[in-house]
Structure 1
Amino acid sequence: MSDFDHFGSSDEENAEIKKLQAEVDTDPDNFEHWEKLVRACEGLEGGLNRNSSPQALGTLRDAYDRFLLKFPLLFGYWKKYADLEFNIAGPESAEMVYERGCASITNSVDLWTDYCSFKMETTHVPHLVREWSAFLPLNITITTACLIGRSRPRTSDTLAMPTASPSIRRLFERGATCVGLDFLAHPFWDKYIEYEERQEAQDKIFAILSRVIHIPMHQYARYFERFRQLSHSRPVTELVPAETLDSFKAEVEAEAAQYAGVQRTELEVERDIRTKIDAMYYEYFTQTQNETNKRWTYESEVKRPYFHVTELENPQLVNWRKYLDFEESEGNFTRTVFLYERCLVTCAFYDEFWFRYARWMSAQEDKEEEVRIIYQRAATLFVPISRPGIRLQWAYFEESCGRIDIARDIHAAILMGLPDCIEAITSWAHLQRRQSGLDAAIEVFKAQIDSPQVDIFTKAALVTEWASFLWKVKGSTEEARNVFLKNVQWYADSRIFWDRWLEFELQQATSTEVEDQHAERVKQIFDELRSKSRLSASTKKDLYHIYLSYLQQRGGKDAMKQFLAIDREIYGPGSISVLAKAKSGKENGVGGGELDDTTRHRAEARYLKYYELPNEPDAEGQGTAPFN
């Protein structure tokens, strides 16, 4: 939020800005709240300009900075912000916004095209473009007027401008690296060619076209046609590398030798060489045409190639999956990375594509840092903390790389936002067990169980995980059993607690000699369930189904007496069902009443680890695809 108490406008507008900022702070994921705030800031003082108050300008910049930090892939707003800065503070400020925008959404054809167009229109000294971080101290401010000789630099004027300033061509080359392979990159390449036309640099235009004709894109044929026309006027030495030219010369000479005694002029020799060169480039055109047609199958189905906060249609996700499958099968690393980056603009809020990108990248050689950056981008910018799976995967990756402290910090960061995340707490405990031993893992459980920030139903699940550690890792069945027995009084309303306790006892090894003791322990669980738990009748019936199966499969001679008694008391009509009487509070020795709906939902919720969730997308799905 802006640090200003007043926003440089009327009291009414100040109140409106404060209200909108409060709405944004309360619900920062609400895109409409942000849009309203930005529009309101733009309208301060009747519309902001160079003469607006510093408070109003500061409020506008604060709103845009926060908005684009939250949603960095909105290329249209970066362009709008740059235009505002140009009108308010001049080209230097606008350029800084463009740089930030192109760093935030590196593969936006529109933004790079706008940036290069902006530099073409605002740089009046040929080839001059400033790179602030490389040349200027932070306390120096130099305007465009300074650079074209209309005024002097402010401050001490002791800094000389560098003699080897990067050129607009360098800016275009940066853009070509970032967006040149895009299927719809023709606006960018057209702008690059337009710039070279202004410089009357036919050699540069030809060099650009000689690159573009190899790129599968929507308007590939138009570029090839212009390339062929221009090639007729270029020296033959510019058309192909020297070794290729020598090879064609040798072929022409060999063909001429077959006609002994016929002297060929240099013009005729060059004509034949050009014919061979033209045939070679036509082969390139055919290859590009084939590659374009392959991709058109998928490109034609991309209905939303830009980022938005709304969900995509299921067929769109299916198309992206198939497109990625295709590009991966082609085996070109650069093109595959480029397609993943395009996909993750459109599908930024879908975890599955971040997981897929990281997994694919990790399968390539020597790409540890690239994988790390993928996880960082997903976790810090796009996937909300409410879906912690990608963050946990990042932690496992860092642990695998020996960066144990980083893995611990990632777990701690998750729990700062999700103190009740059972999966994150359990994962942290396992991390401690792997790296520091069982006692360190148990300390994690104890600390979280004792924490007042942790919900009682989360604590119930953690108690069962603690017991599982004692049983499966330490090998102490009795210690694990005591954990359940001592804690049933606190967590009798948790479905997870009963599920895990029952699972624990049913998986204990038995023999004929101790089967009666085992049966008594199982029976004790259900006696406790009946007398202490306020879970819903339907949940208790689900649990009792397990007991009935146990009596059938492992019960003794009198097991069917118990079976029928339970069947009558649990599944019988309301007049004889102990569950019905417990609900009305008429049965002594039975858990009194039931939980309210909100509490019951939490008490009976089960949690799955993120890698246990369905991984196979629905190829036949229709309608919108939820982010989670």
Structure 2
Amino acid sequence: MATECETSGDGELGDPSAMEITEVPILPPPVMSDENGCADLATEAFAQGDTASFSPPPATEDEEGDLPADFERLWNAAHDNAHDFTSWTDLLQYCEQEGHTAASQRALMAFLGRYPLCYGYWKKFADVERRAGNNDKAAEVCVQGLQSIPLSVDLWIHYINLLLGTLDMNLPESPKRIRSVFEDAVVASGLDFHSDRLWDLYVEWEKEQGNIRNVTAVLDRVLKLPTQNYSTHYENRFKAHLSSYEPKEMLSLEEYEEVRALCRETQKAERAEQAKEKGNEMPPGEEEPATPEGTDSEELIQRIRDQVLSRREKIHQENENEVRKRWNFEDTIKRPYFHVKPLDQTQLRGWHAYLDWELAQLNKDADDCNKDSKETDADAKEDTEGPESTAQTQRRKEECQVARDDHRVRFLFERCLIACALYEEFWTRYIQYLETRSVDEVRVVYKRACLHLPSNPNLHMRRATFEERHGDLAAARRVLEALDKNRPGLVVVRVRRAALERRAGQLERSEALLQEASNDKLHLNLLELEVSSELCSSAEAVQKCVTRALAAPLAPHTKIILSQRGLQFVEEYSNSIQSVLSFYEDHQKLLKELGGIKREAENKDKGQEKVVKSEDAPADDASTQAPPTDPQVPITVPPPPTMDMSAQSGGYGGYSNWYQQPQYGSYGYQNTWNYNQGYYPPS
């Protein structure tokens, strides 16, 4: 990983002043150093929207037999209600109480495949592996977690403490690895307003290593960052550090020589001024006392300390101003971590306001840079001597300032999208910000957004449009196909797929997609048409209509309704008991075949209702704003009302409006009803 300060061959960090105009790293996520852990398995799976690759392998017979008593029940409950967060946490809590390693591993792996931003459970997973004696596996889990949530200060600290507790620090490569992880950590999450604990840990570890210059370099970096405990870093840590060591030991060689030369010149100038005021030269033997070669007098050391402190005081004041600008925004953020529960309106407005302000700062600095660049270009024509003119240096600093502001904007978006991962509006804002900067980065953000909102049609269709616009038709097809499979029955998705193929010149494929769409409403309306026709000619037509519908790719609950209505019709109007019994047998077989699938869908629906409304709910108030998890559930409705048979003397028209009730939004059916079940023998 490219770090802010490079490490020299002797284990010392380079000159921190070099950070003034160096390239700012791009977020996210950081590429983990090869020596720091495993390959990036989780990130690839999550970026591709493939959480299945993150699921645990099937348990062996021995494992199944050895699992705790209630594991299977809670495991099935979590999977039957896959979008019910509480079902998952109940399972995880049970495994933790039982202290069963295999059960915890299976449950945590499955849970984190769905909720990768829950950093606390990555920590629990690593602890499970460590207690089992799998230190390498524990480190691998931490790395996978950090690839999923690289801004998590807590997870970085957990990973570092794990390495500190398991690595043999007597080996020369161990300190190098720890320092490399610290660098990965501060680059990835050190800009967070609450990252002070990470910086403090880094400082203390470098102090334990006895490399005083590294301590100074780390402190110099954090003194420039607007964090919550910014004052403590300066008033307590840096001042104490400065007074505890001689400047030659704590400063980089470049800064030490620069400050020492400046202080010596100032000292000489003051002595000359004093002599001039007295009107005569100093008598022989009263010259400045000599000091041994390579040493500084106490007076010079104090001057150097004062100069160093003066420089840091200026940096501290500038940083304090940055903290003051951000404090109110940060104070609004009460839940900076991920959770499926909706955020209140105050926090949502706070995130938007914070982003607005940070973007305004970037635009302001960009405008100032463009204005100043015209002046520096004019100066550069006059000042062309030397390897780099003053005007060119100024231009580079201005460009670096804009790059740093861009980095801050990206970092704030990433922080926001941890707490607001289930809010489409923030993903859309981030995508709009990146669209003018990098197509590849937009593609990555789209993948991440669709992972967290897998059933949001608008988001996925915009992603497909993006891929098509940039020439990747295969990717656009994959996105729409996955959405069509995940949200069956959405006409707009099928129409979009057909339109994509038409624009690609695949007319036959476009026509086939439209012909394949068997819509629920189409079959239900056809059935209504047949049962409303002349009774003498409609029995066979109704049978064909039902048979055709059962062969179509319709949802299980829709097929059950259609079969049930067909059974009602033949019961009322068929002249043959064999026809009724035949239809009844077919209906019973269908119930056995599809009933389990339908109940599973209904369980998903119930689990979803426990959390919040779907992703498409309007953002009117705090109670309905958030789609807290993945609402991949069909819309179900109450059973149709009982018909008054005495009112049907005019024919089958009494059933003509059975499906047109206002609440019958998507032709679902919650309660299985076997019409006249008591009349016929069980099948």
If the length of structure 1 is used for normalisation, what is the TM-score?
A: 0.62
* Aligned counterpart for 2:78 among listed residues 12, 21, 24: 24
Task: Decide whether aligned partners of structure 1 residues 198 and 457 sit closer, same or farther in structure 2, where only a CA change above 3 A counts.
Answer: farther
Pair 1:591–1:283, CA change in 2 (3 A): farther
1:252 and 2:266 are equivalent in the alignment = yes
Question: Shift of residue 598 of structure 1?
Answer: 5.8
Equivalent positions of 1:55-134 (< 5 A) are: 57-126=101-170
Identify which of 296, 312, 315 aligns with 1:284.
315
Match of 2:520 among 436, 441, 455: 455
Find the counterpart in structure 1 of residue 479 from structure 2. 410
Counterpart of 1:197 (choices 171, 191, 207) is 207
Give 2:665's aligned amino acid: R
5+ residue gaps, structure 2, are 1-55, 277-286, 290-295, 363-404, 526-547, 549-646, 669-683
Per the alignment, residue 602 of structure 1 pairs with 665
| TM-fit CA distance, 1:228 | 2.7
Quick one: distance in 2 between partners of 1:425 and 1:43? 47
- The one of 319, 340, 358 equivalent to 2:413 is 340
- In angstroms, what is the RMSD of aligned CA positions? 3.6
- Preserved CA contact (<8 Å) 1:4 1:59: no
Q: Aligned ranges for residues 11-410 of structure 1 at < 5 Å?
A: 13-14=68-69, 16-44=70-98, 47-48=99-100, 57-126=101-170, 166-225=176-235, 226-232=237-243, 233-235=245-247, 238=252, 241=255, 245=259, 248=262, 252=266, 256=270, 259=273, 267=297, 268=299, 271-331=302-362, 332-364=405-437, 367-380=438-451, 382-385=452-455, 387-410=456-479
How far 1:245 sits from its partner (Å)? 4.1
> Given that residues 429 and 445 in structure 1 are in contact (C-alpha distance below 8 angstroms), is that contact kept between their aligned partners in structure 2?
yes
CA distance in 1, matches of 2:523, 2:329: 45
CA shift digits 1:353-391 (9 cap, x unpaired): 111111111122xx22211111111112x1132x12222
What code does the residue aligned with 1:259 have?
Answer: E
Q: C-alpha displacement at 1:176, in angstroms?
A: 0.8
Q: Which runs of 5+ in 1 are unaligned?
A: 49-56, 131-164, 461-489, 491-583, 606-628
Aligned AA (2:520): D
How much has 1:335 moved relative to structure 2? 1.2
Offset, 1:65: 0.7
Within 5 A, what are the aligned runs for 1:527-546? none
Once the 2 structures are TM-superposed, how far is the Cα of residue 223 of structure 1 from its aligned partner?
0.4
Q: Residues 498 and 514 of structure 2 are in contact (CA less than 8 Å); yes or no, is this contact kept in structure 1?
A: yes
Larger RCO of the pair (alpha carbons < 8 Å, separation 6+)? 2
Q: Aligned equivalents of 1:306 and 1:363: distance in 2?
A: 29
Q: Displacement of 1:255 after TM fit?
A: 5.3
Mapped to 2, the partners of 1:179 and 1:208 lie a distance apart of: 14
| CA distance in structure 2 between the aligned counterparts of 1:95 and 1:222, rounded to whole angstroms | 31
**8 Å Cα contact 1:358-1:374 kept in structure 2:** yes
Give the SS at the match of 1:307: coil
Change (3 A) 1:122 1:603: closer
Task: Summarize the alignment of residues 439-518 of structure 1 with structure 2, pairs less than 5 Å apart.
Answer: 441-449=510-518, 454-456=519-521
The answer to whether the 8 Å contact 2:464/2:476 transfers is yes
Counterpart of 2:24 in structure 1 is: none
CA offset digits 1:262-321 (Å, max 9, x no partner)? 776764556445434322221110111011111111111111111111111111111011
CA distance in structure 2 between the aligned counterparts of 1:314 and 1:255, rounded to whole angstroms: 63
Aligned in 2, Cα 1:251/1:602: closer, same or farther, shift over 3 Å? Answer: farther
What is residue 622 of structure 2 aligned with on the other side?
none
Secondary structure of the residue aligned to 2:139 is helix
The alpha-carbon deviation at position 604 of structure 1 amounts to 11
Distance in 2 separating the partners of 1:344 and 1:17: 33
Q: Once structures 1 and 2 are overlaid, which stretch shifts more, 207-216 or 435-444? A: 435-444
Secondary structure in 1 aligned to 2:428? helix
Question: What's the CA shift for 1:90?
Answer: 3.5
Which residue identity does 1:177 align to in structure 2? V
Contact 2:480–2:493 at 8 Å: present in 1 too?
A: yes
User: What is the rounded CA distance, in whole Å, between the counterparts of 1:430 and 1:591 in structure 2?
Assistant: 41
Contact 2:125 2:141 in 1 (8 A): yes
The 2-side partners of 1:8 and 1:596 are apart by: 46
2:360 & 2:74 partners in 1: Cα distance? 49
- Deviation, structure 1 residue 256: 4.5
Residues 335-365 of structure 1: CA distance to partner in whole angstroms, max 9, x if unpaired?
111111111111111111111111111122x
Return the alpha-carbon distance in structure 2 between the equivalents of residues 295 and 203 of structure 1: 31
Secondary structure of 1:183's counterpart equals coil
Corresponding residue SS for 2:83:
coil
Match of 1:468 in 2: none
Query: The residue matched to 2:497 in structure 1 has which SS?
Result: helix
3-state SS of 1:116 partner: helix
Retained in 1: the 8 A contact 2:247–2:301? no
* Shift in CA distance, 317/251, structure 1 to aligned 2, threshold 3 Å: farther
Secondary structure at 2:273 match in 1: coil
Supply the distance in 2 between the matched residues of 1:69 and 1:287 (Cα, whole angstroms).
43
Equivalent residue letter for 1:456? K
Q: 1:213, CA displacement in angstroms?
A: 0.3
Q: Is the 8 A contact 1:128 1:168 kept in 2?
A: no
Counterpart amino acid of 1:370? E
* Identical aligned residues as a percent: 29
CA change 1:23–1:207 in 2 (3 A) is same
Equivalent-residue separation in structure 2 for 1:20 and 1:396 (angstroms): 40
Per-residue deviation, residues 588-618 of structure 1 (Å, max 9, x unmatched)? 9x9984244667643799xxxxxxxxxxxxx
- Between the aligned partners of 1:320 and 1:203, the Cα distance in structure 2 is 38
Distance 1:177 1:240 in 2: 24
What do residues 120-156 of structure 1 show as CA deviations (whole Å, max 9, x unaligned)? 12223246678xxxxxxxxxxxxxxxxxxxxxxxxxx
Pair 1:312–1:597, CA change in 2 (3 A): farther
8 Å contact from structure 1 (residues 112, 175) kept in 2: yes
Q: Does 1:423 align with 2:492?
A: yes
2-structure distance, mates of 1:33, 1:129:
44
Give the whole-Å Cα distance in 2 for the aligned partners of 1:247 and 1:352. 56
Say which SS state the counterpart of residue 214 (structure 1) adopts. Answer: coil
2:523 and 2:448 map into 1 onto residues whose CA distance is 29
C-alpha distance in 1 between matches for 2:114 and 2:212: 44
Maintained 8 Å contact 2:246/2:301: no
Question: Cα deviations across residues 525-574 of structure 1 (Å, max 9, x unaligned)?
Answer: xxxxxxxxxxxxxxxxxxxxxxxxxxxxxxxxxxxxxxxxxxxxxxxxxx
Counterpart in the other structure of 2:634: none
Question: Between Structure 1 and Structure 2, how many residues are aligned?
Answer: 430
| 1:96/1:260 CA distance change after superposition, 3 Å | same
Between the aligned partners of 2:211 and 2:203, the Cα distance in structure 1 is 9
Report if the CA contact (8 A) 2:417-2:426 is conserved: yes
Does the 8 Å contact 1:75/1:105 carry over to 2?
Answer: yes
Equivalence for 2:534: none
CA distances 1:479-525 after superposition (whole Å, capped 9, x unpaired): xxxxxxxxxxx9xxxxxxxxxxxxxxxxxxxxxxxxxxxxxxxxxxx
Per the alignment, in what secondary structure is the counterpart of residue 304 of structure 1? coil
Deviation sequence 1:35-94 (CA, Å, 0-9, x none): 2222333445xx33xxxxxxxx43331211111111111111111111111111232222
Change (3 A) 1:104 1:258: same
Once the 2 structures are TM-superposed, how far is the Cα of residue 458 of structure 1 from its aligned partner? 10
